[in-house]
């Protein structure tokens, strides 16, 4: 058991954190370049080989590592050195509850592709997220710089506000799937539902019997479309990347909370934002896009179809490979979507960010909870 | 075994950081961060007690939201030493010592009774302390109390709004 956990943790650290995060910095540069009709990063090379600019992340790391680590005069030394870690660690340990595959049975051995399959998985993510706010706030305060201080203040106000909303926007999903365990949520989405079935369920009319073949995967995005949009907005605001980057707003407060950071300590803030992009993508994929589930092709279908040719063991192994890659594909699609939004929208003003949270998302999410509850009760009767 | 070790680790962390919070009078922000460590350690102890929902809420609400709010206020006011009333600190220290004596006087007799220390650990029912059980209890047995608390909070929000708006108009 401990060996299995260690292998899973190493897998996540190597593939999800150390593997994807640097590539995302490249994706961000290339995607913005394509969107703005530029060429983008293509100069870093080893002996003339540039591999489409993929060497830039490596050059970045070498640059950040070799830079001097400056602690400004009058800064609180301990907190100043500590806050990049407070920002980066929650982002990494959030992966612990995200399932990157289902539960598989190889004879007597059960393979569950989650590090910690806990009953309160989403609450864990929210708890971890609320701790991550300190990295920014303390960085802003401990730098002994007014611009940093303003960034820290903005970050604390923004992150508290969006934490509340982020929690409320997914309550509808809890109600639909009746669970907080992320692996159960993904499992519940490994099926399909009749698109016109709601006429049957809500009004008791079966005019659309003939259209029963029109089915959609039972993903969260189809059950809670409003919840999907609101949750994505809230969690992107929580990550404080553009267009919600008021804590660092270059045009107003230079670089905000990480103004006084240099070298790899700045790099940690930088990386933690990108790791959070992956966490957001993985979380949204698990809650709303079915996680590892292949649309229209449930686990039983794959195992049932393949095992008659190659045996159950091979079929289950194939399932593991397919599910992990489908999950990775969904994560990549959501990373692409976040980059698209990041490069399409200009930075919101401070009051606009706050209005969006308290005057639009909060009332809408409460209305969403109410409507979901009414519909669920109606169906039950 | 591992549970006992973890309990002592987080227990010691909670006590040390709580002391750090109270004794660190020079630096309010560092003292608030010690409070965060206390809250998170308490959350870890709740997890060891299988009270998962309470643990999550402990970290989310107390460790996260409330102390961030403290920090927000501390940073916004940014008080320096000479802005505090003279002699206030002496009074504060006295108050801390008195509060400590009162708490110890209540805790020590309870600890010295054998029943607390040797209470047999009974197996808890399935799902105990999870969100389902707590939610069911809150919305069936204790629904009146929950509604009263929410009414009280609503009154506090409205009151705060009125106070804040009066200064603007």
Mean pLDDT of A347-370: 89
For position B89, what pLDDT does the model report? 65
**Which of A356, A86, A47 lies closest to B40, judged by CA?**
A86
pLDDT exceeds cutoff 80 at A335: yes
User: Tens of pLDDT along chain B (169 residues)?
Assistant: 778 888 889 889 998 988 888 777 677 788 888 888 999 999 998 888 888 888 888 888 888 888 888 888 887 776 665 566 555 567 777 887 888 889 888 888 777 765 554 555 666 676 677 788 888 888 888 999 999 999 999 999 999 888 888 776 6
Q: How far apart are CA A316 and CA A302, in angstroms?
A: 8
For position A133, what pLDDT does the model report? 84
pLDDT exceeds cutoff 70 at A106: yes
Q: How far apart are CA B19 and CA B38, in angstroms?
A: 9
Tell me the per-residue pLDDT of A65-104, one tens digit each, with 9 for 90 and over.
Answer: 898 888 888 777 888 888 888 888 888 888 888 888 778 8
- pLDDT band at A370; cut points 50, 70, 90: very high
For position B127, what pLDDT does the model report? 67
Partner A, chain B 53-112, Cβ-Cβ below 8 Å = 53, 55-57, 59-60, 63-65, 68-69, 71-72, 75-76, 78
A152 touches B: beta carbon within 8 Å: yes
Asked if B29 and A127 come within 8 Å (Cβ–Cβ), the reply is: no
Comparing A169-178, A251-260, B26-35, B123-132, the range with the smallest average pLDDT is B123-132
A&B contacts, CB < 8 Å: 86
pTM of the model: 0.85
For residue A19, CA distances in Å to A10, A58, A264, B71 come to 11, 12, 18, 35
Contact indicator for A377, A180 with CB cutoff of 8 Å: no
Tokens for A19? 């593997």
Chain B hits for A160, CB-CB cut-off 8 Å, are 65, 68-69, 72
- ipTM score above 0.90: no
* Phi, psi angle pair for A52, to nearest 5°: 60, 25
Strand (E) positions, chain A?
Answer: 103-106, 109-112, 192-194, 215-217
Report helix, strand and coil shares of chain B as percent, to nearest 5: 80, 0, 20
Tokens for B97? 């010592």
Looking at chain A, the whole-number percentage of residues with pLDDT higher than 70 is 99
B20 touches A: beta carbon within 8 Å: no
Q: How far is B106 from chain A (nearest CA, A)?
A: 32
- In terms of CA atoms, which chain B residue is nearest residue A79? B30
- In terms of CA atoms, which chain A residue is nearest residue B57? A127
A281 touches B: beta carbon within 8 Å: no
Partner A, chain B 145-164, Cβ-Cβ below 8 Å = none
Looking at chain A, the whole-number percentage of residues with pLDDT higher than 90 is 5
For position A180, what pLDDT does the model report? 84
Chain B hits for A78, CB-CB cut-off 8 Å, are 30
**Average pLDDT of chain A?**
84
């Amino acid at each position: 058991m401990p060996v299995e956990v260690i292998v899973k943790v190493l897998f996540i650290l190597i593939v999800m954190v150390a593997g994807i995060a640097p590539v995302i910095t490249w994706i961000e540069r290339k995607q913005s370049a394509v969107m703005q009709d530029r060429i983008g990063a293509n100069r870093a090379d080893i002996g003339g080989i540039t591999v489409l600019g993929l060497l830039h992340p490596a050059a970045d790391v070498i640059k950040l590592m070799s830079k001097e680590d400056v602690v400004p005069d009058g800064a609180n030394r301990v907190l100043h050195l500590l806050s990049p870690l407070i920002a980066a660690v929650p982002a990494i340990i959030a992966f612990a509850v995200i399932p990157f595959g289902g539960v598989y049975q190889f004879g007597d051995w059960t393979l569950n592709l989650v590090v910690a399959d806990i009953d309160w998985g989403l609450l864990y993510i929210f708890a971890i997220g609320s701790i991550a706010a300190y990295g920014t706030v303390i960085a802003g305060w401990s730098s002994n710089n007014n611009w940093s201080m303003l960034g820290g203040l903005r970050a604390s106000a923004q992150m508290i506000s969006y934490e509340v909303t982020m929690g409320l926007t997914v309550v509808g999903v809890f109600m639909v799937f009746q669970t907080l365990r992320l692996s159960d949520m993904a499992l519940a989405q490994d099926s399909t539902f009749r698109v016109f079935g709601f006429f049957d369920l809500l009004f008791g009319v079966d005019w659309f019997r003939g259209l029963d073949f029109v089915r959609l995967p039972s993903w969260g995005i189809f059950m809670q479309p409003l919840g999907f949009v609101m949750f994505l907005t809230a969690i992107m605001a929580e990550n404080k990347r553009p267009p919600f980057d008021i804590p660092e707003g270059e045009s107003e407060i230079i670089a905000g909370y990480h103004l006084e950071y240099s070298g790899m300590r700045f790099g940690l803030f930088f990386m933690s934002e990108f790791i959070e992009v992956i966490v957001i993508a993985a979380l949204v994929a698990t809650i709303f896009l079915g996680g590892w589930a292949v649309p229209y092709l449930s686990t039983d279908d794959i195992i049932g179809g393949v095992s008659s040719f190659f045996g159950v063991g091979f079929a289950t192994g194939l399932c593991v490979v397919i599910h992990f890659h489908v999950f990775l594909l969904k994560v990549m699609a959501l990373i692409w979507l976040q980059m698209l939004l990041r490069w399409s929208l200009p930075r919101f003003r401070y009051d606009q960010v706050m209005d969006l949270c308290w005057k639009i998302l909060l009332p809408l999410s409460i209305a969403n909870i109410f409507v979901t509850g009414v519909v669920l009760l109606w169906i039950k009767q | 075994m591992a549970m006992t070790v973890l309990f002592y680790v987080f227990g010691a962390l909670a006590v040390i950081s709580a002391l750090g919070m109270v004794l660190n009078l020079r630096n309010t922000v560092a003292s608030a961060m010690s409070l965060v460590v206390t809250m998170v350690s308490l959350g870890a102890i709740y997890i060891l007690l299988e009270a998962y929902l309470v643990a999550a809420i402990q970290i989310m609400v107390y460790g996260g939201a409330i102390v961030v709010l403290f920090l927000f206020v501390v940073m916004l006011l940014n008080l320096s030493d000479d802005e505090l009333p003279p002699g206030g600190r002496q009074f504060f220290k006295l108050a801390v010592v008195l509060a400590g004596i009162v708490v110890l006087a209540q805790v020590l007799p309870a600890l010295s009774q054998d029943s607390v220390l040797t209470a047999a650990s009974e197996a808890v029912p399935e799902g105990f302390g999870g969100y389902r059980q707590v939610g069911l209890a809150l919305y069936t047995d204790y629904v009146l109390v929950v509604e009263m608390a929410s009414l009280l909070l609503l009154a506090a929000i409205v009151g705060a709004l009125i106070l804040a708006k009066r200064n603007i108009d």
